[in-house]
Structure 1
Amino acid sequence: MPTNRKVVFDVGNVLLRWDPFHLYRDLIPNDEKRSWFLQNVCTSAWNLEQDRGRPWTEAVASLIAAHPEWEAEIKAFDERWHETVPGTIEDSVAVLADLKAKGEQVYAITNFSREKWAECLIRFPFLQSFDGVIVSAHERLLKPDPAIYNVLLERYGLSAGECIFVDDSGKNVEAARSVGMQAVHFVEPIDLRAELRGLGAAI
C-alpha cells in the first residue's frame, strides 16, 4: 500500500549528471583557460538566469556582445548543451521507478531552463513520470527561494511534513527543511534507498 510520504526529486546531479566540463574539456583543452572561461564568461550566475526564465537566444547574444572573442565557445553552451549531460545517475532513476511501481507519488522541483527542460523530456522519457513538476523557468523562481517549494505544496495539495526532498545542494536542502519538509542531501557515494527508507518512504 502506498505511504503518505511523497518523495520530491531535484533533477540535475540527482537524476541526470550535469557538468559543463564534459563539453569544454575538448573545446578548451587548456585547463587554465577553461577554468577562466567558466569563471568569467559562461559563469554559473549567467547560466542561472536561464533557469530563472531568460531565453537562451537573449542570454547568448548578450554574452557575445560582452565577449566577442569567445563567440564560438559561448554558442556551444546552448547549441551543444546536451554534451554537458552525459547521462543518468542510474541508481536514482531506479529508485524513482521503484517508487512509481509501488504506487507512490513522486514529484520534482528543478532549476532548469524552459528550452532545455522541453528537450530533456524527449531525451529522458522517465522525466515524464512525475505526478507533478515545478520547473524554475516556468515559475520565474529559483531554489533555494522558499517560494518555489511552496508552489509545489499549493499546486498539488501537499503538506510539507509528508514530503521528502532530495537535492545535491546543501542550500536547497536547508530551504526545503525551512518550509517543513524532510530532506536528503544527495552527495555520492550515497545509499538513497536507505536514506529514504529511514525517513518513512516505501522503497
Structure 2
Amino acid sequence: MIEAVIFDIGNVLIEWQPERHYDRLMPRARREAMFAEVDLHGMNDVIDRGGPFRETVEAWAARTPQWREQILRWHDDWIEMASPVIERSLRLMRALQAKQIPVFSLTNFGIETFDHACTHYPFLRAFDRPFISGHLGVIKPEARIYEIVEEVSGLAGHQLLFTDDRADNIAAAHLRGWKTHLFEGPAGWAARLVAEGLLSEAEAV
C-alpha cells in the first residue's frame, strides 16, 4: 500500500530550462558552444550539494573569463530559468494532500536557490516532508539520498510512489524497491495516480 507520494520539483512542479533561457540571451549556436565548453550543470550540482550560490557561480565565471558575463547570469537570472509553474502538477499535489495523503519532495536544490524559489512559489513550503539535497549534502541519483528518505519517514520502498523527470533518478529509486513514474508530463502522472487508486479521475483533472 502506498503511504506517501514523492515529487521531484524541477520539470515536475516548476519548469527548469537553463538552455531555453540562454537561448533568449544569445544565438543558439553560441549558447551551445558555451554549454559544451563550461559544465554549467556540473556547477549547479555543486550548489545542489549545499555549496554557496553566488560564490560558486562567481568562481566558475572567474575560471572561464571568456564566458564570465554569461555565467554570472546563472545567478542573476536564476528564477527565470526556474519557471513557470506546471499548474496541473501543482493541482495534483494539492488534491493528494486534500485527501490526507502525505506528499514529500525529493529534489536536487541548493540551500539558497530553494529559499529563493520559495519566495516566488510558496507551495514549495507545503510538503509534508521536504528532502532538499542542499540541506542533506547529497544529490540524486546517489543511493544515500533515497536511504535518508526511508530512514526519516520510516517507510519502505514499496510504500513510496516517486515521480521524477530524469531516468537515472528513477532507476536509482527503483533499485531500492520504490514504486516509480518517469515524469513526461502531468497527464501521464495524473493517470498513474488514478491507476494507483490515490485520486479519482475527477480529482486528477
Q: TM-score, normalised by structure 2?
A: 0.91
Structure 2 counterpart of 1:18: 16
Q: How many angstroms apart in 2 are the aligned matches of 1:4 and 1:174?
A: 19
- Structure 2 unmatched ranges of 5 or more: 201-205
Deviation at 1:201, TM superposition (A): 2.5
8 Å CA contact 1:5–1:201 kept in 2: the answer is no
Q: How many residues align?
A: 200
Q: How many angstroms apart in 2 are the aligned matches of 1:6 and 1:197?
A: 15
> Where do 1:82-161 residues align within 5 Å?
82-161=79-158
Q: CA RMSD in A?
A: 1.6
Q: In the alignment, which of 62, 65, 70 is matched to residue 68 of structure 1? A: 65
- Structure 1 unmatched ranges of 5 or more: none
8 Å CA contact 1:22–1:83 kept in 2: the answer is no
Structure 2 counterpart of 1:49: 46
Question: Residues 64-105 of structure 1: CA distance to partner in whole angstroms, max 9, x if unpaired?
Answer: 221112222111100110110221111111100100111111
Deviation at 1:59, TM superposition (A): 1.4
Q: How many angstroms apart in 2 are the aligned matches of 1:7 and 1:139?
A: 20
Q: How many angstroms apart in 1 are the aligned matches of 2:187 and 2:111?
A: 30
**In structure 2, what residue type is equivalent to 1:192?**
W
Deviation at 1:45, TM superposition (A): 1.5
Deviation at 1:58, TM superposition (A): 2.6
Provide the secondary structure at the position in 2 that maps to 1:88: coil
Q: How many angstroms apart in 1 are the aligned matches of 2:196 and 2:167?
A: 18
Q: How many angstroms apart in 2 are the aligned matches of 1:157 and 1:202?
A: 24
**In structure 2, what residue type is equivalent to 1:9?**
F
Deviation at 1:4, TM superposition (A): 4.4
Q: In the alignment, which of 140, 160, 168 is matched to residue 163 of structure 1? A: 160
Structure 2 counterpart of 1:198: 195
8 Å CA contact 2:88–2:186 kept in 1: the answer is no
**In structure 1, what residue type is equivalent to 2:21?**
L
Structure 1 position 174 matched with structure 2 position 164: no
- Bigger CA drift: 43-52 or 101-110? 43-52
8 Å CA contact 1:51–1:142 kept in 2: the answer is yes
Deviation at 1:42, TM superposition (A): 5.0
**In structure 2, what residue type is equivalent to 1:105?**
P
8 Å CA contact 1:9–1:165 kept in 2: the answer is yes
Deviation at 1:172, TM superposition (A): 0.6
Q: In the alignment, which of 28, 31, 34 is matched to residue 31 of structure 1? A: 28
Q: How many angstroms apart in 1 are the aligned matches of 2:135 and 2:85?
A: 23
Deviation at 1:34, TM superposition (A): 0.6
